[in-house]
Amino acid sequence: MLILVTLLCYGNILANSFVYDDDQQILQNPYLRSWRFLPEIFTTTVWSFVGQAGATNYYRPLMTLSFLVLWKLFGPIPFGFHLFSIVVHAGVVVLVFYVGRKVFQDWRVGWVGALLFALHPIHTEAVDWIAALPDLESAFLFLAAFGIFVVSERPGSRRWLAQGSLFTLALLAKEPALMLVAVAIAFEHAVRGDRGISPPRQKLLRYAPLCLVGAAYLLLRIALFGKLAPVLQHPKISWAQSMYSAFALLADYGRFLIWPSPLSAFHVFHASSSLAQPAVLAGLAMAIVCVTGALLLRRVSTATAFALLWMGITIAPVLNARWMAANVFTERYLYLPSIGFCWFIGWCCIRLWDSNAARVPRQRSVRIGVVLVFSALAVLGATSIALRNRDWQSDLSLYTRTLETDPDADIIRSNLAGVYFDRSDYIHAGQEWERSLAGKPDNVITMNALGILYTVQQRYPEAEAMLQRAIATKPLWADPHYDYGILLHKTGRDTQSLAEHSTAVDLAPVNPEARRWYAEELAAVGKNSEAEIQYKKSLDLQASYGALRGLAMVYVRTGQLREAEATLRQIVAQYPYDGDSHLQLANLLSTAGRRDEARREYQAVLQTDPASAEAVAALKRLQGH
């Protein structure tokens, strides 16, 4: 039933598209095209494929490896990626039941908690958004490792190996999985049934493997990146503001666990600066209530006190605003902590149910009331999930809905402008980008996008100023360099253009677009042999029409006719309605005296462009022969 409920709630996401970061993480990620990038996947950060601009604290090789496998199975089709997210989420729901049953020694608490978890709308972001797969994978592996730990009162080497392996994979999925060490220690000393009679050495041996894995993971991060967190995401936030903000964030997370509305892909964050602010006081009060509640509940149910500890321990890593990404408060961060919340509510429901067993006159009415309230909340949760899934259907629906709830989300407004630009709606794109930049003047992505827009609109002085501003703000980002190179080429400054494209390739060596634009500029200045190399490197990273077409033209110009023919045939096979490539191939065949083949290619040109004077004249000439 739990699996069925999960599938019914999320089945409508199977028709959703790639949205938000999915485009860059999946469609533009060269690491997903070949197994040869496995070393890079396991030794660099999750955004390293974009070059120097990819500096981040996120080390999540399991996510990229999962995307690589899914790409090999499904290609650029979002259905398979969404299906995998649903399957992993269903697995988490099942584990919430089984682990909850073991912790509480009551299958009913585990089952009610798992049902609440399946029906809680706060999980829609984690399940609907493909790029949020680390939250699903880490929670699944976290629970699996903890489940083995819970039942291992006398662990042997096999169980140590199993829980250590699962914990390792959880850490490779997402960094907060490290909190399993704290969760296991809390369970060992506060909940396990034999805690009163087990000697300290035996307790230590139970969780020592987890501690060793955690320590090895920290050392690995230091070895790979020089420090645990190489990038300070919000340096302008002071430590005092970070501390105050932690309580404000705690209040927000608690509120969304109880009543998840309004849901948004980007909650605008403002740092707190005083203990007297209402949000900070609310968070402080919530922390005090939870700690006090846990201490009091130990006398009634140690497992229930542990559920409250679970929430506090697993939410702690995301409360430091200085280390978090732009969207400091994010719904998917509640995916793992909400397990403790659902167990706690499940225990409360069963406790209320059982407490009326001795009160026969009231038993029937109270239990009916519990069932009715729970059923109403279940219907409300399932309906909210199904409706929220539709918001994640496309970029346009997601960004539009997000700006309705958070109109100051300037990053989302910039993304919406990109949707308008792709639809050639340059007026609305420009309005949204300019408004976004006014709200977030340091956003290099928006600066670069405006530079591209102004270039397309032939507003060259404005484009140049905007692109130079982007480069000055983030000189290690490759995109502004090659977009500025394109502008320089359009305005006849090929020498400067070549330098910008060369810089872009140096900054992002596995960016296929940077290499393609560099190749085009090399070809434009007559450096055909170097252009050939760059086109091939671009194609090696990711096949594209532009790179194939450019390589074919280089082959034609340098007299490599056999290679030119092979490349043009590859193009027309993949793009059968590309009349220009058919025409180029026909001319090549005609020059070589292969008239029948040339005739077929000229006829293919006329299928796409019946008015092609060159194709008509060529066919007449061939018929004359």
Question: How much is the average pLDDT of 181-193?
Answer: 92
C-alpha span between 179 and 364 (Å, rounded): 43
Dihedral sign from CA coordinates of 314, 320, 322, 324: positive
Does residue 306 or residue 367 have the better pLDDT?
306
pLDDT of res. 326: 78
- Residue 529 forms part of a structural domain: no
187 has pLDDT over 80: yes
pLDDT at 157 exceeding the cut of 90:
no
Reading the block at residue 176, the tokens are 């907060």
Dihedral, CA of residue 169, residue 172, residue 175 and residue 177, to nearest 10:
0
Q: Which of 20-29, 111-120, 369-378 has the lowest mean pLDDT?
A: 369-378
Q: What is the pLDDT of residues 321-335, one digit of tens each?
A: 888 887 889 999 999
In a domain, 417, yes or no: no
**Which structural domain range is residue 577 located in?**
559-625
pLDDT at 625 over 60: no
The pLDDT of residue 220 is: 92
Residue with tokens 């090659």: 482
Specify the length of the chain in residues. 625
In a domain, 183, yes or no: yes
244 in a structural domain: yes
Element (H, E) at 511: none
Write out pLDDT tens, residues 512-523: 999 999 999 999
Lowest mean pLDDT among 352-356, 386-390, 453-457: 352-356
What distances in angstroms separate CA 296 from CA 113, 184, 284, 292, 299, one per listed residue? 21, 21, 18, 6, 6
Q: Which long-range contacts (CB under 8 A, 24 or more apart) does 463-470 make?
A: 463/487, 470/444
* Residue 9 CB partners (closer than 8 Å, separation 6+): 118, 119, 381, 382, 385, 386
**CATH code of the domain covering residue 576:** 1.25.40.10
Residue-wise pLDDT tens digits, 246-267:
999 999 999 999 999 899 999 9
Q: Is the pLDDT of residue 86 over 60?
A: yes
The answer to whether residue 271 scores a pLDDT higher than 80 is yes
**Region of poorest pLDDT, from 80-89, 185-194, 279-288:** 185-194
Q: What is the mean pLDDT of the chain?
A: 91
For residues 91 and 139, give the distance between their C-alpha atoms in angstroms, rounded to a whole number: 10
Q: Name every residue whose Cβ is closer than 8 Å to that of residue 595 and which is 6 or more positions away in sequence.
A: 589, 622, 625
Number of helical (H) and strand (E) elements in the chain, helices listed first? 30, 0
Query: pLDDT tens digits, residue range 379-420?
Result: 999 999 999 999 999 999 999 999 999 999 999 999 999 999
Nearest Cα to Cα of residue 354 among 555, 151, 106 = 106
CA–CA separation, 382 and 9 (whole Å): 6
Sorting pLDDT into bands at 50, 70 and 90, what band is 359?
A: low
Q: How confident is the model at residue 360 (pLDDT cuts 50, 70, 90)?
A: low
Average pLDDT over residues 122-142: 96
Q: Is residue 449 situated within a structural domain?
A: no
Closest CA to 304 of 284, 290, 319, 288: 290
Closest CA to 170 of 146, 203, 197: 146
Quick one: average pLDDT of 543-571?
Answer: 91
Range scoring the smallest mean pLDDT among 54-63, 160-169, 403-412, 464-473: 54-63
Rounded Cα distance, 441 and 383, in Å: 39
Concatenating the DSSP letter of every residue in 184-234 gives: HHHHHHHT-TTTTTS-HHHHHHHHHHHHHHHHHHHHHHHHHHSSS----S-
Range of 97-111, 221-235, 343-357 with top mean pLDDT: 97-111
Residue 596's pLDDT band, with cuts at 50, 70 and 90, is confident
Q: Do 488 and 480 contact (CB within 8 A), yes or no? A: no
Among residues 361, 388, 415, the one where a domain terminates is 388
- What is the count of structural domains for the chain? 2
Q: Is residue 342 part of a domain?
A: yes
At 401 the pLDDT is: 95
Please answer whether residues 589 and 597 qualify as being in contact, where contact means their C-beta atoms are separated by less than 8 angstroms: yes
End position of a domain, from candidates 388, 413, 448: 388
Dist. CA 305–CA 104, nearest whole Å? 11
Q: pLDDT at position 127, please?
A: 96
Question: Which pLDDT does position 609 carry in this prediction?
Answer: 83
pLDDT over 90 (residue 90): yes
List the one residue out of 206, 209, 227, 207 whose CA is nearest residue 218. Answer: 227
3-class DSSP state of 477: coil
Contact 618, 603 (CB under 8 A): no
pLDDT of residue 121: 96
Q: How far is CA 424 from the centre of its chain?
A: 27
| pLDDT of 623 | 77
Last residue of a domain, one of 335, 370, 388: 388
State the average pLDDT over residues 53-74.
Answer: 90
User: Which of the four pLDDT bands, split at 50, 70 and 90, describes residue 579?
Assistant: confident
At residue 589, the pLDDT reads: 87
